[in-house]
Chains A and B, each alone.
Chain A
């Protein structure tokens, strides 16, 4: 319970520091720390807040309440309209291609035959690969800042990390094309192929633009988001946790790893999911370095495609109705994938939170 309070108190600061609207809106859906509240509520039902029993006491209150309700309804309504519009516009494609749209990999605008499998694969593969790179990095940064860094260096580092979040994605894309890809070509890929070239993961010709390049760009882009939230989570862990661990004779590392991190587990997973959400929807930077090829390959050195990139690329010149409709269906699938990922995240956090609930209550 203490974690929850602390975490929420710290959140506003976190929103302010990371200047991105998308971040805030995603943050609202992907930071469901409230499941922690459930065990507490079962323990001792909270007394009804007084202001609620006073509902309807005067006109001003009622107006205020009505206005707030209206505002609260707008957002879900917007979401539903979006979904409805997507379904309606995608309907011709859904009707024509049916379910095979999801696993067919032909994308032929001339013949009017469409399948989204390469893009679904590319979206998930690039995002998950990005997470594999970004999570250790971001958690390392967050743990260092909150636990180990000397006081004077904490703010500058935190500031610089968060500054990364303010860089426009097209700048990341340009950097990817002109710096990252040449660097990969000269320094990373040759040794990688020499040692691991026999595995399907690193086989094939490397052109530069590739799944690997896309994933690295994505990783760099989501590190600040994960690091910023993770840092706030770790800072919210009560000092008593650390003191208790240290008092038991733990080293600082052990204290962090056995007491602080497990305590903030739910929040940390929330941070990771926030990063994943961002990675799934990223468009510009990815399209510039991923190669934009409608192909499914196991090798990370091969070009790939993502749903968001395809939409950005092909929407404006989609000349036939079925082509446009197919793109809408891709948008719909992206929407569904994002919702499913968020739902899974909620379940995951709920599971984790239930696991720690016993422990935290015992504390």
Chain B
């Protein structure tokens, strides 16, 4: 009995040792927005832990959810949380773990306007509903005192490809405008009432830049790197807040009071409480299974994710992402602890 067990162990050890010192390979796929920081995380993590090989394909949130649900990848990533129907289709075997924050920025092309424009939620909604058609509209001039707005047509530019950026934008508009929620709704792609479509942040930016009087929305990190004009937006507390990484982290912190530790993190944090919160922000999530078959894989994965949530957060800002608020860590830790493989928690082996 003892003998055979030993032999089995030896065999297992051999089998594991044979391909380049017990390598664990983890494959993931999904959202394009967090791709830069995920690649960075995986590269740095692999340097510190050569035994773990991570691979992430940024094929889009939809593809990520599909591959994750089919079990072709070990983890997924998405900018828009999975729908209840999609979750029940895989028997609820999924955890949404937020990693970093992103925000949307209204950007515009008004060469003669030097001041930063200010937008109220209802103005943004009505521009994108096609109800405000001139830059000189009374409601725009009212919130921008001292700014000489031209008597020019407003040209709306939105994303033509499905994207998390659109999800955040339409989620926000749905919250602040009942008409938007009823007519258009929220999604990675929607039936836009007006406007031109541009492919990707770069497509929207190019169209805005080439179209006088255009207004579009892009990812905050993208707007920062390309130094695009970005409007301030009035938040729930009534303050006009410029989009910055800090004001987006503040948005998540502001939303925490509403979500509580028991949440499954699939929460929208647009239009949150908080004086300093920029209202058009969202988590981006990793999709992990609640139960894995392979304990080695699950352990390595949880360990990597926990590192990303702690040590990895400092890499966010230089790359144009907003880090998660500190307070969220405990809730994420508690959630990661529930992940099991073969009925046992993998946390103990993971957190060393």
B207–A208 CB distance below 8 A: yes
Taking CB atoms, residues of chain A closer than 8 Å to B196 are 207-209, 291-293, 303
Q: For the side of the interface on B, what is the size category? A: 35 or more
A294 and B191 within 8 A (CB)? yes
User: Which of B59, B189, B207 touches A109 (beta carbons < 8 Å)?
Assistant: B189
**For residue B156, which residue of chain A has the nearest CB?**
A207
Contact residues in A for B163 (Cβ distance below 8 Å):
317
CA distance A109 to B211 in the complex (A): 27
Of B59, B61, B198, chain A has the most CB atoms within 10 Å of the CB of B198
User: A178 to chain B: which residues have CB within 8 Å?
Assistant: 206, 210
Q: Tell me, yes or no, whether B319 is within 8 Å of chain A by CB.
A: no
Closest Cβ of chain B to A323, distance in Å, is 8
Using a CB-CB cutoff of 8 Å, which residues 290-343 of chain A contact chain B? 291-294, 303, 305, 309, 312-314, 316-320, 323-324
Any chain B CB within 8 A of the CB of A23? no
Q: In the bound complex, do residue A292 and residue B83 qualify as a contact, i.e. CB atoms below 8 Å apart?
A: no
For B187, give its contact among A110, A287, A312 (CB under 8 Å).
Answer: A110
A140 at the interface (CB under 8 A from B): no
With A110-B184, A110-B190: A318-B62 Cβ-Cβ less than 8 Å: yes
Known: A208-B211, A316-B59. A292 touches B191 (CB 8 A): no
Does B141 count as interface, using CB distance less than 8 angstroms? no
CA A257 to CA B284, docked complex, whole Å:
65
Residues of chain B within 8 A (CB-CB) of A110 are 184-187, 190-191
- CB nearest to B160 among chain A residues: A292
Whether B191 lies near A109 (C-beta < 8 A) is yes
Min CB–CB distance A63 → chain B (angstroms):
40
> Is there contact, CB below 8 Å, between B207 and A316?
no
* Contact between A287 and B185, CB atoms less than 8 A apart: no
Alpha-carbon distance A120/B141, docked complex (angstroms)? 41
A300 smallest CB distance to B (angstroms): 15
A319 touches B83 (CB 8 A): yes
Interface SS of A by simple majority: loop
On chain B, the residues within 8 Å of A111 by CB distance are 185, 191
Tell me the A144-199 residues at the B interface (CB within 8 Å): 177-178, 181-182
- Collect the chain B residues with CB atoms within 8 Å of residue A305's CB: 197
For residue A288, CB closer than 8 A to chain B, the reply is yes
One of A109, A182, A313, A320 near B197 (C-beta < 8 A): A313
Q: Which residues of A contact B184 (CB under 8 A)?
A: 110
Task: Please tell me if A261 contacts chain B, counting CB pairs below 8 Å.
Answer: no
User: Closest CB of chain A to B125's CB: distance in Å?
Assistant: 16
Q: Does A107 contact B (CB under 8 A)?
A: yes
- Taking CB atoms and an 8 Å cut-off, the chain B residues in 190-238 that contact chain A are 190-192, 195-199, 203, 206-207, 210-211, 214
Q: How far is the CA of A208 from the CA of B210 in the complex (A)?
A: 8
Given contacts A207-B155, A208-B210, A316-B60, contact A108 B83 (CB under 8 A): no
Bound complex: CA of A264 vs CA of B207, how far in Å? 44
Count contacts on A: residues with CB < 8 A to the other chain.
33
- Docked complex Cα distance between A314 and B166 (Å): 12
Nearest chain B CB to A264's CB is how many angstroms away?
40
Contact B162 A320 (CB under 8 A): no
B199 contacts which of A106, A287, A293 (Cβ < 8 Å)?
A287
Q: How far is the CB of A285 from chain B (nearest CB, A)?
A: 11
Q: Report Cα–Cα, A317/B153, bound state, in Å.
A: 31
- Residue numbers in A under 8 Å from B83 (CB-CB): 319-320
B80 touches A319 (CB 8 A): yes
Is B162 within 8 A of A317, CB to CB? yes
Nearest residue, chain A, Cβ from B195: A293
A205 on interface, CB distance cutoff 8 Å: yes
Q: Which residue in B162, B185, B190, B214 is a CB contact (below 8 Å) of A318?
A: B162
Type the 1/0 row for B69-105, where 1 means its CB is closer than 8 Å to any CB of A: 0000000000010010010000000000000000000
A320 to B83, CA, bound (A): 9
- Which residues on the B side are within 8 Å of A107 (C-beta)? 191
Q: Is the CB of B190 within 8 A of A108?
A: yes
B65 interface residue per 8 A CB criterion: yes
Q: Which residue of A lies closest to B82 (CB)?
A: A319
B63 at the interface (CB under 8 A from A): yes
B161 close to A (CB within 8 Å):
yes
Taking CB atoms, residues of chain B closer than 8 Å to A317 are 60-63, 161-163, 188-189
Expressed in whole angstroms, the minimum distance between the Cβ of A136 and any Cβ of chain B is 29
**Least distance between A304 CB and chain B CB atoms (Å):** 11
Instruction: Give residues of chain B (224-266) contacting chain A, Cβ–Cβ below 8 Å.
Output: none
Contact A181 B210, CB 8 Å, known A111-B185, A317-B188: yes
A317-B161, A317-B163 given; A209·B191 CB < 8 A:
no
- Determine whether the beta carbon of A109 is less than 8 Å from that of B198: no
* B206 in contact with A177 (CB, 8 Å): yes
Q: List 12 A-B contacts (CB under 8 A).
A: A110-B187, A177-B207, A177-B210, A288-B199, A303-B197, A305-B197, A309-B160, A317-B61, A317-B62, A318-B62, A319-B86, A319-B188
Chain A interface residues toward B at CB < 8 A: 106-111, 177-178, 181-182, 205, 207-209, 287-288, 291-294, 303, 305, 309, 312-314, 316-320, 323-324
Across the A-B interface, the 7 shortest Cβ-Cβ residue pairs: A317-B162, A292-B197, A316-B60, A292-B160, A108-B191, A110-B185, A313-B161
